[in-house]
Structure 1
């Protein structure tokens, strides 16, 4: 058990959706097209939706999935046996000293993340997940906090309507993927109703990648293994999402919007903000280039956060550059990127001041998610 010296909010935990959930929760008119878990003749299981099976095998092979499964069995056996129900989620949080966890999906990273999926089916899939999440978190509503799934930006107006519905039901945040959908980046004018609704209702927006979706994905167009696709997609898609939100003026137009860049590490952040600042100076006043009222790094400092990997060696340097107020602790539990509950012990051992540790573990995620 980690030291009780610090209260802890997990800014990016995950659930494992149970078998049959999608069929039970999706609207009856879509039940025959509900997502499901399938197993192919090779023995490879996947998430089937819209006629596609995710993750794409060229990004996560059968052998790689087997390696992940072995790692999960070794470190998370008791939670796996409990089928990752709400009680086991709380038990895992207790083992790691987590007081509150904001929960993101696993299957849901993929089920509506298909470029040519029908917009009405995409939003129906999101609604199904969001309704299930409310029921899941009802087991301990003060500790299990749902993050609304809104990867279905195929129709931004429908997405904005779902923001309103979730806000009325008590959600504090929603999440989107960083990838383009139907050729639209996150700064596309069509998304204005969505960003405006999030800002107006005070919902934070988490941006979360998941390798192997049927969307344009950095690295997947030129590599065919998990090592390359995963190493590239998570940080590079987040860099491009940040570029769109800042350079495309979304944060300029919506100064009260709160945004978090998740599960991509933070070591790249100082360089990327410096590079955007430099380009902002070079292009200032030039026709056709972004005309911003602040330096790109100032938008980040005003309204953005980023999660860090618990064992990242560059966290002290990022703190030196960006200050103590913008980094978040995220466990990624129960995904196999880190060992649980050693994840938090690693975080507590970092050579950073206690003031920074306290902010990373509690104050910063509380500010992002509107708990402060």
Structure 2
């Protein structure tokens, strides 16, 4: 049965937003909204880099907004390293800019449906130096564009709504608008945004609305945010920041919601943790259940009335990665709470071959793989 062809529901697939979309979809906000600017490489910069020992290759443009780079810790070393790896994925990144080529790339790897996430827009909307009005304008503009993008094949391309957290008073209206489109999910970064964590009391009505509307909240982190991502207080390189950002922020996001009582008060709320792997789940739930939960009962008795692992199993789905150790996580939460996302077309995941997924995950039998690749996403996103 390992040779079975699985019709994959890709729960974490990305677009690459063409720079031109903002000119059209931000048209009603042009007055006073900072524009995206590109700082291009040139021969003088290239010559200077070569004299410093860097390889003789051109760098992609640096995105800026309000005069500030969209990405943090994005010095020349990081840009050169990215240029080297990006040269291997030009075709893939170009295909993600438009729905026709996106669908073709899905056909090549047996992906029947894809949950579609932003790339650059998530950094723009959550930028710490963007004001509230601009953050909301860019979120709304992205949602309009991705609506048109996915309309090319609405049964296969399933958009995730982008939320601006800059002004918590707008959260409920934003999620209501997204639900009115018929969409199944919104994406949030797991970090605190402008000093407010996920569990902050000002977010309470948002979680209640998501639960009532059946909207899945998908947490998707990323390295180099202009914000408060874990590790940025001690590291500056892509290697260390990328190692920390995704799994550690996922763990802290769960704790933030757990301790604040969001999960206790909203038993129907559905959460998805993406691009962080799933092998962190077993050790994290063991620690929360066996070390933290019973240590100071007076601190948890109000908002955590059952072991943390029980909340996770009630509320959460988590994206697995090809090749990661699964045995402990399977024992902890079972395979029914696992989903799969390719992260296409981002280069850190392109070496994973979806056509050989069964051979790369020997811990799973055919029935479990069918659930993870097809049935579990249907249950999560109500497909």
Q: TM-score, normalised by structure 1?
A: 0.91
- Aligned counterparts of 2:267 and 2:322: Cα–Cα separation in 1: 30
* Alignment pair present for 1:93 and 2:109: no
Q: How does 1:148-227 map to 2 (within 5 A)?
A: 148-150=161-163, 152-227=164-239
**Displacement of 1:77:** 4.0
The C-alpha deviation readout for 1:7-35, integer Å capped at 9, x for no partner, is 21001010000121122112523455254
- Aligned counterparts of 1:189 and 1:50: Cα–Cα separation in 2: 30
Which deviates more from structure 2 when the two are superposed, residues 113-122 or residues 243-252? 113-122
Counterpart residue number, 2:48 = none
RMSD: 2.1
Q: TM-score, normalised by structure 2?
A: 0.89
Q: How does 1:54-73 map to 2 (within 5 A)?
A: 54-56=70-72, 58=73, 60-73=74-87
Which protein shows a greater Rg? Answer: 2
Q: What SS class does the counterpart of residue 131 from structure 1 fall into?
A: helix
**Displacement of 1:88:** 0.8
The C-alpha deviation readout for 1:161-206, integer Å capped at 9, x for no partner, is 1111111111110010011112111011100121122111111010
Q: What SS class does the counterpart of residue 233 from structure 2 fall into?
A: coil
Counterpart residue number, 1:242 = 254
Alignment match of 2:152 (pick from 121, 128, 139): 139
Counterpart residue number, 1:362 = 374
The C-alpha deviation readout for 1:81-131, integer Å capped at 9, x for no partner, is 557311110011011110000011110120011224221221111000001
Q: What SS class does the counterpart of residue 99 from structure 1 fall into?
A: strand
* Alignment pair present for 1:269 and 2:281: yes
Q: Unpaired segments of 5 or more residues in structure 2?
A: 46-58
- Aligned counterparts of 2:6 and 2:299: Cα–Cα separation in 1: 50
CA contact (8 A) 2:95 2:105 kept: no
Q: What SS class does the counterpart of residue 142 from structure 2 fall into?
A: helix
Q: How does 1:212-361 map to 2 (within 5 A)?
A: 212-278=224-290, 279-284=292-297, 286-287=298-299, 291-312=303-324, 314-339=325-350, 342-346=353-357, 348-351=359-362, 352-361=364-373
Q: Unpaired segments of 5 or more residues in structure 1?
A: none
Which deviates more from structure 2 when the two are superposed, residues 18-27 or residues 156-165? 18-27
**Displacement of 1:254:** 0.9
Counterpart residue number, 1:129 = 142
CA contact (8 A) 1:47 1:111 kept: no
- Aligned counterparts of 1:213 and 1:81: Cα–Cα separation in 2: 23
CA contact (8 A) 2:29 2:137 kept: no
In structure 2, the CA distance between the partners of 1:345 and 1:36, relative to structure 1 (3 Å rule), is farther
Length, aligned pairs only? 364
- Aligned counterparts of 1:160 and 1:27: Cα–Cα separation in 2: 24
CA contact (8 A) 2:338 2:372 kept: yes
Alignment match of 1:110 (pick from 123, 140, 144): 123
Q: What SS class does the counterpart of residue 11 from structure 2 fall into?
A: strand
- Aligned counterparts of 1:348 and 1:171: Cα–Cα separation in 2: 34
Counterpart residue number, 1:9 = 9
- Aligned counterparts of 1:323 and 1:339: Cα–Cα separation in 2: 27
